[in-house]
Amino acid sequence: MSQSNAVRREIDAAPVPHAQSFELRPLPGPVGAEIIGLDLSRDLTAADFARVHQAHLDHHLLVFRDQRITPQQHIDFSRRFGRLMIHVLHQFHLANHPEILIVSNIVEDGKPIGLGDAGKYWHSDISYKELPSLGSLLHAQELPAEGGDTLFANMHLAYDTLPAALRNAIEGKRAVHSYLAQYGQLQKEGNWRPNLSAQQIAQVQEVVHPVVRTHPENGRRALFVSEGFTTRIVDVPEDESRALLAELFAHSVRAENIYRHRWQPHDLVFWDNRSLIHLAGGTPDHLRRKLYRTTIEGDTPF
Ligand code: SIN
């Protein structure tokens, strides 16, 4: 058989994705929509993918209900949006799937199986890199009977509602983001965080980003600072920087900016890190919680 015939046969044999009928239900409040009836274990047609992509841009957060997907299917779907980032805490990668970070409070044989205090401070994932994240996908594996919610704040709304004086004070300003901003504090508060090796520290050198960024796809401006990773505003005195950041942090997480996600079994939540910051609401110590996270790389904030 000629090589071109062999290639043609392989193409003919590849399964053709079929259109799926699914519903998009906006959530009440400042962020989010549910997607009902879409099966992400199947390949999406170009039209279905385009609808999901547009919904993500419109709502900033999508809740795909009832996704019985494998880690590889989670990775494959995430990759359709961009390159995946590998988290610096390799201790908590899923075995054979370094693209997945385990977020969990479960301890087995005296060792945490995942990052138990992920998201304890408001943050945008991996904003401490030159290329911060476009978005993250968190898939529920094991949920507690109470607690374990995740909160999301809309940073476009936060920017749009800034008092004029505060908006003027940050015009054109840039801020430092550091993975180590709260690391020492988190080590003091719990037993989840390993000491970082020199190699890990080298991977998380601090970076500078604009305090207000423009979303590269929807064109809207958003505040891009968080208590989790932003340490100071550059070119302003230290006390002024501290006061400005405190005001920006408080303004970002006012109740009207927030959506609280109450997890249901097999939820996959996909949020936009360019539009939102998020916080893990906390789980009672005696209850088990485990989720798998992929993180998509974005572009240089401007
Ligand atoms: C995270 O910040 O990625 C985890 C959030 C959560 O566990 O709810």
Question: CB of 280 closer than 6 A to ligand 1?
Answer: yes
Q: Tell me the β-bridge partners of 293.
A: 101, 138
* pLDDT at residue 13 greater than cutoff 80: no
* pLDDT at residue 116 greater than cutoff 80: yes
* pLDDT at residue 135 greater than cutoff 60: yes
Q: What is the pTM of this model?
A: 0.93
92, 150, 193, 267, best to mutate for ligand 1 pocket (most atoms within 8 Å of CB): 150
How many whole angstroms from 185 Cα to the centroid of ligand 1? 18
291, 295, 296, best to mutate for ligand 1 pocket (most atoms within 8 Å of CB): 291
| Mean pLDDT computed over every residue of the chain | 95
Question: CB of 177 closer than 6 A to ligand 1?
Answer: no
* pLDDT at residue 286 greater than cutoff 80: yes
The pLDDT of residue 15 is 74
How confident is the model over 269-297, as a mean pLDDT? 98
Question: CB of 158 closer than 6 A to ligand 1?
Answer: no
* pLDDT at residue 7 greater than cutoff 80: no
The candidate with the shortest Cα–Cα distance to 43, out of 12, 82, 80, 7, is 80
Give per-residue pLDDT as tens, 52-100.
Answer: 999 999 999 999 999 999 999 999 999 999 999 999 999 999 999 999 9
Percentage of the chain with pLDDT > 70?
95
Give per-residue pLDDT as tens, 146-193.
Answer: 999 999 999 999 999 999 999 999 999 999 999 999 999 999 998 899
Strand positions, DSSP E, 129-284 = 133-142, 150-154, 174-177, 207-210, 212-214, 221-223, 230-233, 258-261, 268-272, 276-280
* pLDDT at residue 5 greater than cutoff 70: no
The pLDDT of residue 16 is 87
Question: CB of 228 closer than 6 A to ligand 1?
Answer: no
Q: Kindly state the tokens that stand for 185.
A: 């504090």
What is the CATH number assigned to the segment(s) 18-297? 3.60.130.10
Boundaries of every domain in the chain: 18-297
Give per-residue pLDDT as tens, 179-229.
Answer: 999 999 999 998 899 999 999 999 999 999 999 999 999 999 999 999 999
Three-point CA angle 214, 246, 121, nearest 5°: 80
Neighbours of 21 (CB within 10 A): 7
